[in-house]
């Protein structure tokens, strides 16, 4: 039986590198529903925030507490990077990889790989080397590879930052389908249109700290801090 993953609570959590605090201290509790979109100016700590929650950045102060043991929480997560990381293998082999390392038979893994390739419109490219795909195709492959193991939570760092409108729409459709299946999404974006389309909750970061947060409709209608209001207006916020 899979243990409950949420809520996750950050209490004075921070991460530092070479004596410089990248994010924190942060006090925040996130529940296990919908899509949480993390926004803020460039350099506000969005990537470090995601990496800290995921465990890819070292916790150098405070605590992060999941509703289940940390090791189990990590097994229920996946991370999609801003620039997709492709294995030097075919599309099919990229999709098979996370299943096989978790004990799925190769026969079942191939069947699921083909199913997911069709979901993200890569079914005609199964034998193609992942490294020669377009940027949008690589991002769709990275998403499918993250979702194929049915994680409870997926982190996404600016997943559409370098994509055109059509590719962005395709990625958003995949994310909305994942959310409808019950996958919790925590993602960063610089695109306020995308944030409004996808967010159920919003976390606004500034200088590595949470300056505002709340349910998306209330946040976009009337953020509680002057910095968040200025950011939404398109002003420069430092």
Helix (H) or strand (E) segment spanning residue 39? strand 35-39
Which tens digits make up the pLDDT trace of 90-117?
Answer: 999 999 999 998 889 999 999 999 999 9
The angle subtended at Cα 99 by Cα 96 and Cα 101, nearest 5°, is 105
Q: Report d(CA 164, CA 135) in Å as an integer.
A: 9
Q: Report d(CA 64, CA 131) in Å as an integer.
A: 36
Please check whether residue 74 is in contact with residue 83, taking contact to mean a CB–CB distance below 8 angstroms.
Answer: no
Residue 41 reports pLDDT greater than 60 = yes
Helix (H, G, I), strand (E, B) or coil at 161: coil
Range scoring the smallest mean pLDDT among 34-43, 162-171, 208-217: 162-171
Question: Pick the residue with more confidence: 199 or 2?
Answer: 199
pLDDT score recorded for residue 1: 40
Q: Give me the domains of the chain, ranges plus CATH numbers.
A: 8-86+155-233 (3.40.50.300)
For the record, the structure tokens of 68 come out as: 């289940």
For the record, the structure tokens of 229 come out as: 């209001």
Q: How large a percentage of the chain has pLDDT more than 70?
A: 99
Residue 59 reports pLDDT greater than 60 = yes
Q: How large a percentage of the chain has pLDDT more than 90?
A: 75
Angle between helical axes of 106-119 and 135-147 (0-180°, round to 10): 130
Which of 112, 20, 4 lies closest to 66, judged by CA?
Answer: 4
pLDDT score recorded for residue 83: 84
pTM value is 0.92
Task: Look up tokens 């509703």; give the residue.
Answer: 67
Q: Within a 10 A sphere around the Cβ of 43, how many other Cβ atoms? A: 12
Residues ≥6 apart with Cβ < 8 Å to 165: none
For residue 3, name the pLDDT band (cuts at 50, 70, 90): low
Which tens digits make up the pLDDT trace of 139-185?
Answer: 899 999 999 999 999 999 998 887 888 888 988 998 999 999 999 99
Please check whether residue 56 is in contact with residue 79, taking contact to mean a CB–CB distance below 8 angstroms.
Answer: yes
Q: Report d(CA 25, CA 88) in Å as an integer.
A: 38
pLDDT score recorded for residue 135: 87
CA-to-CA separations, 223 to 200, 214, 232, in angstroms, rounded: 14, 8, 9
Mean predicted lDDT score pLDDT of the chain = 92
């Amino acid at each position: 039986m899979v243990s409950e993953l949420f809520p996750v609570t950050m209490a004075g959590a921070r991460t530092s590198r070479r004596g410089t605090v990248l994010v924190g201290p942060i006090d925040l509790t996130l529940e296990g529903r919908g899509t949480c979109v993390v926004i803020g100016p460039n350099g506000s700590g969005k990537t470090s925030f995601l990496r800290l929650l995921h465990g890819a950045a070292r916790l150098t102060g405070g605590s992060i507490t999941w509703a289940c043991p940390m090791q189990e929480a990590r097994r229920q997560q996946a991370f999609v990077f801003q620039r997709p990381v492709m294995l030097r293998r075919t599309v099919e082999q990229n999709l098979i990889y996370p299943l096989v390392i978790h004990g799925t038979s190769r026969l079942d893994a191939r069947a699921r790989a083909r199913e997911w390739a069709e979901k993200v419109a890569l079914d005609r490219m199964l034998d193609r080397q992942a490294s020669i795909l377009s940027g949008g195709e690589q991002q769709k492959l990275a998403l499918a590879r993250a979702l194929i193991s049915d994680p409870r939570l997926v982190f996404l760092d600016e997943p559409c930052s370098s994509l055109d409108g059509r590719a962005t729409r395709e990625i958003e459709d995949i994310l909305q389908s994942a959310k409808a299946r019950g996958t919790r999404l925590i993602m960063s974006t610089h695109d306020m249109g995308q944030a409004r389309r996808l967010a159920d909750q919003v976390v606004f970061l500034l200088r590595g700290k949470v300056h505002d947060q709340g349910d998306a409709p209330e946040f976009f209608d009337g953020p509680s801090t002057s910095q968040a209001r200025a950011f939404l207006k398109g002003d420069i916020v430092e």
